[in-house]
Structure 1
Amino acid sequence: MCFTSTRTAKTIISKLEEIANHLRLKVTKKDCGFLKLEGSKAGRKGVLLSIDAEIFEVTPTFHLVEVKKSNGDALEYQRVVKQGRRPALKDIVWGWQGNQ
């Protein structure tokens, strides 16, 4: 899932952290706008769900955010994305990219 935003990277990160906390996912910040969100318990197939979120600065006031599953069950990922995506992200998303 990808979306664009006219919010600052700090605001985007704060919103993603808020959603992760609501979904009981552990957040690890990495370099340059990269976040790893991980489940605290094994999913349907016994593998922990791990989601990567990366923020790309197109211009100082325009960002592209890519969120993808890096480990775990695809159905669990879809459940988390659908539960956490809308309406929770509506105040930072300018537009959704790809098939939504």
Structure 2
Amino acid sequence: MLVLIAFVVAQMTAAGRTESRIAGNLAANSRSQAAADGAIYEAIFHVSDARPEQHWQVDGSEHAVQIGQSRITLRLEDEAGRINPNLASGSLLEGLLRAVG
């Protein structure tokens, strides 16, 4: 009987540790998601800023920002030159495939 009680206590302790880890992971995920959202808003703010000393260029250079406890490095790139295969014409795709081999 004592072995059964010890087994139940061990299982409950293990389940409690697992639940604690899951809760910690959920909190860390929420913090990371909020930091990523904050970094995106920071980038939009700086790209839209008319002051030259505050304006970020969309040239691939890195920008480090601190969002809460998270330090995030952003790199802004212009995607206008990329080809969307879902919207591109057949001749454009054919030319692309010929160019890359």
Which protein has the bigger strand share? Answer: 1
Q: TM-score, normalised by structure 1?
A: 0.26
Which has the higher relative contact order, 1 or 2, with Cα contacts under 8 A spaced 6 or more apart?
1
Q: TM-score, normalised by structure 2?
A: 0.26
